[in-house]
Amino acid sequence: MNFYILLLFLILKQSKSNGYHALYDTKIAEAAVDKHDWQILWQERDENGLDILSFHKEAPGIWLVTFRARPISLRNLRRYDIKYRIIVNNMRRHIEFLLEEIKEGPPSIEMGNATFLNYLNFDEVVEYVESTPRFSTPYKLISTEVIGRSVQNRSIPMLRIDNAGVNDTIVVEAGMHGREWISVMTAVYLIAKLVREGDDFPELGRLNWFIIPCLNPDGYYHSLQIEGYTFHRKNLNVEYCPPKQYNCSIESCGVDLNRNFAFHDIKVGIHGNPCVGTYGGRRSFSEPESQALQSILKLYKDRIKMFISLHSYGPFILYPWSYKKEKCNDWKDLVRAARKAVKAIQSVTFNATHYKIKNIGTEFGPTAGCVEDYAKHLGIKYSYRMELQRAGNRVFMPKLENIKNFCKENFYGIAALAMHISKQPEKLGMMKGKAKDVKEVKSSQDFVKPNILYIMFLYGALLN
């Protein structure tokens, strides 16, 4: 008898410290809450590690929240009479199914081309980026750079498209949060459309593109490939959560990179506990991954016309500020551009997805340390976060058969934004820049042969 009690004790003890158990112990649920109930969810997050996956204002004073919670939190919610609906009940089966689906699914790469019928793993993303420069032409220089290395020493690749005579640049970053797989796929799709099948989109050749498909390689690698880490959001810096001091399982350690970018050194919305999903690190730019993006934004800030950070899930197109509930001064310009994207997405999507345009601070509550604020602060006028659409109970992980459609609609949104911005007579940045840039950019049309049909099609889409 004593033996069984000991065994039970060991199992219970094990389940506290073992990441697998911590994850499999959770369920995904959804609740519509008012301000008071929202605070209880927040408290559960701080005390019992409730993982908030997404939320948005459903109606005045009502938020629709999707979260992942352990039984203790669900009990507490019931105690407070908060009604929730379970989306994923058996997490172990859910995750086994996801991993199996990827393993048994169609190939993600065929003859060197991404199929968008399956998720590319991290090594495949790197290989895809690194094999793209052979598509260079005399007028279009395609190159790759390793802009930094992750905590676990994985490379952070960036694809550059430099068009002859063009300085204006668009930076698209994805995969800052490991579990947001569709953002990585969208960035890869962007590379496919801009470079490998590039002739269809000549207007986009007025701009240079820097595409960083996977800013958080350790997070993406673990989320996609290592059982027990599927919902890993942060980087893999475990140095901040020594087990003796914190009780969190290894899979919930790490720094939220989108709380690690400096802005005004305000700490609002940044958690101090390394077990929580929004832990911001010891100080701004403490993490190699955020440093890597910082170096690019800082170095090229005078040329960057637009910065887009791809996340999931929404669907939202979001603009600064994030650290306070005020819109940036020129928010009307940002909204005008974003409306083009919304229309373009709606007209090509298989499901008429309607992206909402929102200010980050007002929609989600003030949050500091976000990259969109940092980019805006550097003087990059058009700085956005796109929260890509959600996929039913698959939350961050759309079904394989939806990958291509989701990537396609996201691409049309980004393309519409880029085309709108390339035509703006505005000066670069908020204060600096020279009007002559615009004239010279136009001359870059000399070496692209516009595909009139495509342009008419896209304009038709934009005017809808």
Q: How far is the CB of 134 from ligand NAG (least distance, A)?
A: 8
Q: Which residue, 336 or 354, is less far from ligand NAG as judged by CB?
A: 354
Q: Which residue, 20 or 300, is less far from ligand NAG as judged by CB?
A: 300
* 445 scored as a contact of ligand NAG (CB under 6 A): no
Rounded distance between C-alpha atoms, residue 309 and residue 286, angstroms? 20
Of the candidate spans 70-78, 222-230, 242-250, 418-426, the one that interacts with ligand NAG by CB under 6 A turns out to be 242-250
Q: Which of 44, 173, 289, 387 is catalytic?
A: 387
* 437 scored as a contact of ligand NAG (CB under 6 A): yes
Q: Are 318 and 367 in contact (CB under 8 A)?
A: no
Rounded distance between C-alpha atoms, residue 153 and residue 53, angstroms? 27
Q: Which residue, 240 or 246, is less far from ligand NAG as judged by CB?
A: 246
Q: Nearest 10 degrees: CA dihedral of 89, 94, 96, 100?
A: 160
Q: Are 24 and 91 in contact (CB under 8 A)?
A: yes
Q: Which residue, 167 or 410, is less far from ligand NAG as judged by CB?
A: 167
* 425 scored as a contact of ligand NAG (CB under 6 A): no
3-state secondary structure (DSSP) of residue 440: helix
Q: How far is the CB of 139 from ligand NAG (least distance, A)?
A: 14
| Helix, strand, coil % in the chain, rounded to nearest 5 | 45, 20, 35
* 17 scored as a contact of ligand NAG (CB under 6 A): no
Task: Please identify which residue in the block is written with the tokens 């993490």.
Answer: 287
The residue within the footprint of ligand NAG, chosen from 47, 123, 326, 440 (CB under 6 A), is 440
Catalytic (active site) residue 104: no
Number of Cβ within a 10 Å radius of residue 196: 17
* 392 scored as a contact of ligand NAG (CB under 6 A): yes
Would you give the binding string for ligand NAG spanning residues 291-330, x where CB under 6 A is met? ----------------------------------------
Would you give the binding string for ligand NAG spanning residues 73-112, x where CB under 6 A is met? --------------------------------------xx
Rounded distance between C-alpha atoms, residue 240 and residue 286, angstroms? 11
Phi-psi category of 395—alpha, beta or left, where left has phi over 0 and alpha has psi -120 to 50?
left
* 14 scored as a contact of ligand NAG (CB under 6 A): no
* 165 scored as a contact of ligand NAG (CB under 6 A): yes
Q: How far is the CB of 236 from ligand NAG (least distance, A)?
A: 14
Candidates 222, 285, 292; CA nearest to 255 is 285
Q: Nearest 10 degrees: CA dihedral of 177, 181, 184, 185?
A: -170
Rounded distance between C-alpha atoms, residue 401 and residue 463, angstroms? 29
* 66 scored as a contact of ligand NAG (CB under 6 A): no
Number of Cβ within a 10 Å radius of residue 116: 22
* 153 scored as a contact of ligand NAG (CB under 6 A): yes
Candidates 222, 98, 199, 100; CA nearest to 152 is 222
Q: How far is the CB of 352 from ligand NAG (least distance, A)?
A: 7
Q: Which residue, 87 or 368, is less far from ligand NAG as judged by CB?
A: 87
The residue within the footprint of ligand NAG, chosen from 247, 295, 449, 459 (CB under 6 A), is 247
Give the distance between the most distant pair of CA atoms in the chain: 85
Candidates 461, 435, 430, 444; CA nearest to 202 is 444
Closest-approach residue to ligand NAG (CB)? 112
Q: How far is the CB of 436 from ligand NAG (least distance, A)?
A: 7
Of the candidate spans 91-99, 210-218, 223-231, 245-253, the one that interacts with ligand NAG by CB under 6 A turns out to be 245-253
Q: Which residues bind ligand NAG (CB under 6 A)?
A: 111-113, 149, 153, 165, 167, 245-247, 351, 391-392, 402, 437, 440
Catalytic center residues: 387
